[in-house]
Amino acid sequence: MKRILLILVLLFIKKGFSQDPVFTQFYVIPETINSGFTANTWDTKAGIIHRVQWPKLNFSINTQFAYFDKWFEQLNGGLGISILNHKETHTRYNLTQLNANYAYHVKLNEDWDFYPSISVGFGGKDFGFQNILLEDQINPFNGVISDLTIDPANLQDNIMYFDFSSSLLFFYKQSWFGLTLKHLNNPNISLLYQGNVPLSTFVSVHGRVSLLNQYRFFRGQKDFAFVFNGMKQEEYNRLDFGLDFTQDWFNVGLLAATNPIRSNPNSHFLTSINAVVGINWEKFRFGYSYSFNTSQIGREGGVYELSISWDSGRSAKNCMGCPKYPK
């Protein structure tokens, strides 16, 4: 029994706990995927996004991400902090990571801007093994439970690690393109005190391509954009792509989440269809998305996200998609 438990634990850490959480609204809250967005509007920004996955099952997954950043003219860049929390109800796995972010602005020419950035973080993973009871801890004669065990698996309840990531971000008018490399130092996340399981580097290539470039029809302001996010982390791979339409204070998007490499022949190529809606009001932006999974597990509540962001420089006069008020 103990040998089986050890094998399962090692499989969990290798396959499940080494994958980064991802968000459907990566282009709505782009700070989740690229630290180059740190104060990229040259103002003060803040936001939060909450993700719930398969809420009808007893192994639902909850993920939250929050950020705050500010532009500093003397640094010619932005400084910010972000925090990520990821919790799995069934396994009691809990991840929390705090990052400090810095993005530098480079004006390439009249139309192109470049934001290289670095992110330094401190993270912790809690596996809840303090609640696991092994056979040799139970006294069969009196039922007394001991804290001692001869199990050879010398497991840690939690681990702490330092993390280093870097991103590149290019802006062209209303379009942007980015590259992110997370966990460049490959921190050790092994459950065993003497073990070594490096956290694999997470690679993301992402962007938003404006197809209308703020072309004005009739009244108001419209934009039609192609968005994409290709991700890879060891055997895990995913490509999200779709279209987003903005009209005045309202936007709606439709994306597909795919598994293009399909390392497992039994896996689906199309994993979900994701609908995104958003409303801009004053300096705030509210977003909601729902993912319709194509697999059987998707019929147990799907995946939804709620997001709120605030930008001190956003107003009815100068932001894309804000309400127009009469003078």
Residues 225-255: tens digit of each pLDDT: 999 999 999 888 999 999 999 887 889 999 9
- Residue 221: alpha-carbon gap to chain centroid: 30
Task: Name the least confident of 98-112, 122-136, 278-292.
Answer: 122-136
- Tell whether 326 is covered by a domain: no
d(Cα 322, Cα 249) in Å, to the nearest integer? 5
Query: In this predicted structure, what is the pLDDT of residue 138?
Result: 54
High-pLDDT (> 70) share of the chain, %: 74
Q: Are 36 and 116 in contact (CB under 8 A)?
A: yes
- Tell whether 317 is covered by a domain: no
Q: With CA atoms as reference, report the closest residue to 222 among 109, 101, 321, 78.
A: 321
Instruction: Choose between 323 and 230: higher pLDDT.
Output: 230
Averaged pLDDT of the chain: 82
Question: In this structure, what CATH number is given to the domain that contains residue 282?
Answer: 2.40.160.40
Q: With CA atoms as reference, report the closest residue to 159 among 70, 94, 242, 87.
A: 94
- Tell whether 13 is covered by a domain: yes
Structure tokens at 42: 């040259």
Question: With 50 as the cut, is the pLDDT of residue 312 above it?
Answer: yes
- Tell whether 304 is covered by a domain: yes
- Tell whether 217 is covered by a domain: yes
Task: Name the least confident of 23-32, 132-141, 178-187.
Answer: 132-141
- Tell whether 324 is covered by a domain: no
Query: In this predicted structure, what is the pLDDT of residue 154?
Result: 60
Domain containing residue 237: 2-311
What does the DSSP 8-state code read for residue 19?
Answer: S
For the ranges 8-22, 162-176, 296-310, the maximum mean pLDDT occurs at: 162-176
Instruction: Choose between 144 and 180: higher pLDDT.
Output: 180
Query: In this predicted structure, what is the pLDDT of residue 318?
Result: 42
- Residue 300: alpha-carbon gap to chain centroid: 22
> How many domains in the chain?
1
Q: With CA atoms as reference, report the closest residue to 28 among 272, 275, 220, 276.
A: 276
- Tell whether 319 is covered by a domain: no
Task: Name the least confident of 36-50, 138-152, 238-252.
Answer: 138-152
Residues 53-104: tens digit of each pLDDT: 877 666 678 999 999 999 999 999 999 999 999 998 777 789 999 999 999 9
Query: In this predicted structure, what is the pLDDT of residue 150?
Result: 52
Question: With 50 as the cut, is the pLDDT of residue 218 above it?
Answer: no
- Spell out the residues 6+ positions from residue 210 whose beta carbon is closer than 8 angstroms to its own: 173, 174, 175, 223, 224, 225
- Tell whether 33 is covered by a domain: yes
d(Cα 118, Cα 168) in Å, to the nearest integer? 9
Query: In this predicted structure, what is the pLDDT of residue 149?
Result: 56
